[in-house]
Amino acid sequence: MIIDAHNHVLAAGLYPGYERFIKEMTMGYFQSHGSLPEDRDPGDEDWKGLEYLWEPIDPDTLIRDHAGVGVDKCTILAVAPSEYTRYESRGTVDIAGVTGVEGPPSIDKGNDYIAALVAKYPETFIGMSAVNPKFRGVKAAVAELERAITKLQLTGLKLYPMYDHWAPNDRDLAFPIFAKAAELDIPVMVHLSTTPVGDTVLLYGWPVLLDDVARAFPNLRLLVCHAGHPWVDECLVLISRHRNVYLDMSFLNSTLDQRETYGFLRRARQLGCPLSRVCWATDYPGFEFPETLLPKLALVNRAAGDDPLVPQADIARMLGGNYARFLGMDWSQEETLEQMRGLEEKWTGILTGRKTNPPPARPHHTC
């Protein structure tokens, strides 16, 4: 079984804040690739043709984009609610009305939307709730987390400290949430990385801040999203210190070519971060799609040159087993190795085709 540990779905806010958020997220990328002017702020005319970026992400398209390359399961992440940044009403909302959750779109129902999608596609989706201690206070966030797990049956929690302006090691704001997660015995994913979006706190994306949490809650399963990019070394040493801390390589892997991906795995080992806590993920629909991100890791040994090969069993575990262990879910290594052998020809075709005909870049990273 191959699992993508990090996906976004639906919209991450109400208009016009959501559109503003996505424009800030993608502007620098398009400017540095020549699709938007660099010498002035792009206006409405300049954004013509790019409106797809702030359209809601359709769950059926998400499933199709994964199933086509051999991914079996996808984690879908709620976005935590907030209304005090310059992006106004932010959080997972079902603007297109595809989940069946009743009433007008509201950021208060982010966890309900994700739970409805899991109920609709139980074989494919793994649902992560999200809460924010600065939205309606710590007590309300803790209560919402309990409801999301016990009533809505979501699997775990995703947190967005830098987006929501709180430090992950804040004793008053963050620790009560981690304490509730430990009590519920659920896995917790934390966005620790940068973001091009301006009204966020860069310092709170620093993975080193999670060290305080891992020391205070040694039995809590934690996962650093995006491998802490660009603080990847800091993330790797953090993981080497704590046996219950994992990473997902989403977003980071879009910035690396295949040889650099091999180098990242070697660097992890050099710093004492076992590959048994590295999880493959895409941040769909981010800077690169599953179609190319999956073969890049699955066939990473093609870029090993004269250097030692990464064992196939390690690759299989990064594609699903490590994340399954993080979740507390069953997974078969033999079955996955067999699956990888069956997909090798297809993946090779994608990798070779890519050299002459690169897929269109559709940056849409939503954190």
Residues near Zn ion (CB under 5 A) are 283, 367
Q: Which is nearer to Zn ion, 138 or 162 (CB)?
A: 162
The minimum distance between CB 303 and Zn ion, in angstroms, equals: 25
Q: Which is nearer to Zn ion, 9 or 145 (CB)?
A: 9
Comparing every residue's Cβ against Zn ion, the nearest one is 283
Residues 6+ apart with CB under 8 A from 185: none
Residues 6+ apart with CB under 8 A from 151: none
Beta pairing class for 156-159 and 188-191: parallel
Coil vs helix vs strand at 202: helix
Cα 360 from Cα 287, distance rounded (Å): 10
Instruction: Indicate the Cα dihedral angle 66, 68, 70, 75, nearest 10°.
Output: 10
Q: Taking the CA of residue 355 as centre, how many other CA atoms within 13 Å lie in the half-sphere pointing to its CB?
A: 5
Cα 321 from Cα 54, distance rounded (Å): 33
The minimum distance between CB 152 and Zn ion, in angstroms, equals: 21
Q: Which is nearer to Zn ion, 293 or 367 (CB)?
A: 367
Contact assessment for residue 278 and residue 300, using Cβ atoms and an 8 Å cutoff: no
Residue 105 Ramachandran class (φ > 0 left, ψ -120 to 50 alpha, else beta): beta
H or E stretch at 278: strand 278-279
The minimum distance between CB 219 and Zn ion, in angstroms, equals: 26
Q: Which of 119, 105, 127, 141 is nearest to 11 (CA)?
A: 105
The minimum distance between CB 111 and Zn ion, in angstroms, equals: 17
Q: Which is nearer to Zn ion, 252 or 367 (CB)?
A: 367
The minimum distance between CB 250 and Zn ion, in angstroms, equals: 6
Q: Which is nearer to Zn ion, 297 or 367 (CB)?
A: 367
Residues 6+ apart with CB under 8 A from 209: 161, 167, 168, 169, 192, 203
Q: Which is nearer to Zn ion, 27 or 367 (CB)?
A: 367
The minimum distance between CB 357 and Zn ion, in angstroms, equals: 27
Q: Which is nearer to Zn ion, 138 or 225 (CB)?
A: 225
The minimum distance between CB 120 and Zn ion, in angstroms, equals: 21
Cα 347 from Cα 192, distance rounded (Å): 30
Q: Which is nearer to Zn ion, 4 or 283 (CB)?
A: 283
Count CB atoms within 10 A of the CB of residue 68. 12
Count CB atoms within 10 A of the CB of residue 138. 21
The amino acid present at 198, given as its one-letter code, is G
Q: Which is nearer to Zn ion, 250 or 336 (CB)?
A: 250
The minimum distance between CB 251 and Zn ion, in angstroms, equals: 7
The minimum distance between CB 209 and Zn ion, in angstroms, equals: 18
